[in-house]
């Protein structure tokens, strides 16, 4: 008489087999077939069920035997150390980045008293770093740069060989060829639209070299928000709290312990938008606001700016600066190429006060800065008011860019310590700049730049301090600069 397994019998059978499997490994699998034989003999399971379950049991026994053999092999012969670079499990990605730049340069300047300055030199700059993502939406960046000057990573060949004294001068000396921290930041993607970044970081603002030297990496805290309103319209907001100069120190005077009055701070606020007209056309603009707070004393950056070139302190002061900047750009196709027109306008809202503090109240209207430029290059390259191949932002074989702009910075318009230290390196200067860049191979960029400028208002000096020329020329009347670079991008 045949029997069929009821749900209850199937449950009893499953429990019995599970109990055997719960006992360790191979013996349990072997006993499974014995149990199946007895259940088949007693008619608990049908012929079809018996054959199916016995086949499954044998397959499981073979799989278990293979797994046991593999585990035994691993125990007897552990895998050899591959020697590959290892990082903590929480670090999700590590990217090497940076560049090596070689340069020939010729700077020619004349002072109002006809003192001439002409320096030709060969230079190099190395920037090497790592960046990437960390678990839980954090990210990081670290970079080492050559050069100790905040607005330049360049080192001049054999410049340290001219040092004398103590018998230490030698050919190929290395006293100036050090590496210093250029970036050290940690960020958090708090939401899809908000990032918070702390440390020494890339400039987070949409701007141009007229206001911010591209080599400056500000130190402090930044909050960046971006909102995609439509498929073509994006808006962005940025706030920065940067430590401009550290004055902190021990104090026994309670009146000096209030927050924000020890360090000189630069606060920046930005609101902007980008609108894509088509795949190859776009508009972008922003309004940036800068103000300074804190610090103490009358030396260093808190000294009164005079701009007369008579001393270091009188040319770096940031008193009475409240600057509004408006960068704009329009990118569009030109035949098979990409065109760009852009402008940057800035005004110091406290320009009149800054002039009065310098003893030049009649020049309070010298509080504006202007830049207007045009760029033409290969399709697909990074191209913007402050980005492009001529700035080292593109290195794909066969790509190129040409760029020209005119610029004027009036005496009391901008922070003289942040403007580009190469072209138009001081205030009260106007002139023009032209450059061309070409990549003969992937990761290689060749760039030729030329610029010439003159003093804008002949009744004023040229404010600011630059390590390259300020020690010899208090003010600049005329200025020319030629640079040829070969860059390897990592």
95-249+260-489 in CATH: which number?
2.40.160.180
Identify the band that residue 25 occupies on the pLDDT scale cut at 50, 70 and 90.
very low
> Rounded to whole angstroms, what are the CA distances from 46 to 12, 16, 60, 124, 313?
15, 17, 21, 85, 101
Q: How far apart are CA 437 and CA 448, in angstroms?
A: 6
| pLDDT over 70, % of the chain | 84
The two three-digit tokens of residue 374, written as one number: 């045009």
> Rounded to whole angstroms, what are the CA distances from 365 to 250, 324, 354, 399, 457?
41, 15, 10, 43, 12
pLDDT score for 365: 96
CB atoms within 10 A of CB 368: 16
pLDDT score for 395: 85
pLDDT greater than 70 at residue 178:
yes
- Alpha helix locations (H) across 283-368? 351-357
In tens, the pLDDT along 28-72 reads 555 677 777 777 777 777 777 777 777 777 777 777 777 777 777
Q: Where along the chain do its domains lie?
A: 7-76, 95-249+260-489
In tens, the pLDDT along 376-422 reads 999 989 999 999 999 998 889 999 999 999 999 999 999 999 999 88
**Residue whose pair of structure tokens reads 């005496």 in the numeric block:** 411
In tens, the pLDDT along 201-247 reads 999 999 999 999 999 999 999 999 999 999 999 999 999 999 998 87
In terms of residues, how long is the chain? 490
Residues 6 or more apart in contact with residue 43 via CB below 8 angstroms = 1, 2, 3
pLDDT greater than 70 at residue 319:
yes
Rounded to an integer, the average pLDDT of 336-362 is: 96
CB atoms within 10 A of CB 317: 25
The two three-digit tokens of residue 446, written as one number: 């060749």
Q: What are phi and psi for residue 60, nearest 5 degrees?
A: -65, -35
CB atoms within 10 A of CB 252: 6
| Alpha-carbon Rg for the chain in angstroms | 34
């Amino acid at each position: 008489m045949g029997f069929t397994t009821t749900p209850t019998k199937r449950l009893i059978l499953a429990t019995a087999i599970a109990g055997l499997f719960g006992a360790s490994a191979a013996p349990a699998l072997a006993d499974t077939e014995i149990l199946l034989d007895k259940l088949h003999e007693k008619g608990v399971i049908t012929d079809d069920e018996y054959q199916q379950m016995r086949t499954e049991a044998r397959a499981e026994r073979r799989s278990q035997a293979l797994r046991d053999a593999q585990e035994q092999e691993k125990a007897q012969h552990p895998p050899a150390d591959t020697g590959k670079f290892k990082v903590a499990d929480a670090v999700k990605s590590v990217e090497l980045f940076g560049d090596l730049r070689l340069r020939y340069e010729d700077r020619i300047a004349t002072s109002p008293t006809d003192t001439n300055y002409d320096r030709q030199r060969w230079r190099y700059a190395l920037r090497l770093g790592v960046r990437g993502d960390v678990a839980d939406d954090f990210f990081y960046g670290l970079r080492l740069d050559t050069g100790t000057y905040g607005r330049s990573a360049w080192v001049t060949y054999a410049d340290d060989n001219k040092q004398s004294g103590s018998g230490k001068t030698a050919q190929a000396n290395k006293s100036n060829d050090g590496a210093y921290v250029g970036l050290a930041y940690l960020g958090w993607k708090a939401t899809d639209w908000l990032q918070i970044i702390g440390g020494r970081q890339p400039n987070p603002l949409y701007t141009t070299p007229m206001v911010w030297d591209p080599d400056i990496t500000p130190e402090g805290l930044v909050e960046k928000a971006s909102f995609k309103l439509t498929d073509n319209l994006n808006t962005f907001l940025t706030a920065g709290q940067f430590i401009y100069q550290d004055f902190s120190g021990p104090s026994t005077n309670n009146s000096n312990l209030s927050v924000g009055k020890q360090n000189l701070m630069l606060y920046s606020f930005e609101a902007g938008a980008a609108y894509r007209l088509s795949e190859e056309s776009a508009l972008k603009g922003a309004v940036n606001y800068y103000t300074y707070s804190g610090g103490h004393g009358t030396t260093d950056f808190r000294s009164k700016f005079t701009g007369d070139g008579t001393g270091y302190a009188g040319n770096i002061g940031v008193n009475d600066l409240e600057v509004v900047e408006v960068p704009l750009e329009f990118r569009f196709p030109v035949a098979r190429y990409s065109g760009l027109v852009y402008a940057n306008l800035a005004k110091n809202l406290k320009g009149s006060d800054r002039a009065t503090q310098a003893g030049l109240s009649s020049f309070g209207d010298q509080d504006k800065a202007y830049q207007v430029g045009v760029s033409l290059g290969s399709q697909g390259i990074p191209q913007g008011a402050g980005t492009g191949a001529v700035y080292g932002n593109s290195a794909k074989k066969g790509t190129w860019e040409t760029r020209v702009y005119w610029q004027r910075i009036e005496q009391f318009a901008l922070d003289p310590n942040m403007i580009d230290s190469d072209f138009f390196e001081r205030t009260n200067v106007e002139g023009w700049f032209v450059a061309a860049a070409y990549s003969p191979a992937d990761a290689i960029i060749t760039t030729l730049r030329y610029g010439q400028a003159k003093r804008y208002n002949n009744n004023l000096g040229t404010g600011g301090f630059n390590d390259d020329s300020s020690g010899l020329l208090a003010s600049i009347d005329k200025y020319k600069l030629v640079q040829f670079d070969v860059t390897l991008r990592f």
